[in-house]
């Protein structure tokens, strides 16, 4: 077992995106679907070329996949590290973490809560937290790695 600098006292799991963000994603996805239906009913889309049809179909599929994962994504902080589920899972083990910092968007914290940016060697990974328990643990991680310097 390789010793790590930080380990949580207990595992924390929660949604990766806040309720406000998921509500906004629902609103935007619904608006895009309504707009897409409006376009299909107003223009003869079926008479266009195959490339246009595939582009529209691909856009609809990507919208559906993104929306599904915005609703389903979760973040897990445990003794092994931090994991965020999405279309492609993102995972960082504690032994690989070189630094961590919370970043936020000024005046938009109600919609976009702070994110944890983790530095591992030459790369950075960003983790979203949609619950208070995750944000508290993010703050602890950030403080622990700032004190490490």
Domain boundaries defined on the chain: 12-16+75-148, 20-69
pLDDT category at 112 given cuts 50, 70, 90 is confident
Lowest mean pLDDT among 26-35, 76-85, 138-147: 138-147
Q: Which residues of 5-18 are buried (b: 16+ CB within 10 A; e: fewer)?
A: eeeeeeebebbbbb
Closest CA to 84 of 94, 72, 67, 95: 72
| 6, 144 contact by CB (below 8 A) | yes
Fold entry, domain 12-16+75-148? PH-domain like (2.30.29)
């Amino acid at each position: 077992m390789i010793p790590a600098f930080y380990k949580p006292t207990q595992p924390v799991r929660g949604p990766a995106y806040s309720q406000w963000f998921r509500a906004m994603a629902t609103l935007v996805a619904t608006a895009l679907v309504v707009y897409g239906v409006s376009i299909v009913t107003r223009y003869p889309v079926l008479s266009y070329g195959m490339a246009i049809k595939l582009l529209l179909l691909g856009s609809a599929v990507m919208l559906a996949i993104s929306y599904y994962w915005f609703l389903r994504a979760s973040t897990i902080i445990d003794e092994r590290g931090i994991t965020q589920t999405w279309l492609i899972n993102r995972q960082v083990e504690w032994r690989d973490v070189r630094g961590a910092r919370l970043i936020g968007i000024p005046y938009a914290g109600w919609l976009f809560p702070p994110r944890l940016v983790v530095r591992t060697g030459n790369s950075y990974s960003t983790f979203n937290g949609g619950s208070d328990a995750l944000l508290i643990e993010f703050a602890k991680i950030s403080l622990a790695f700032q004190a490490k310097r």
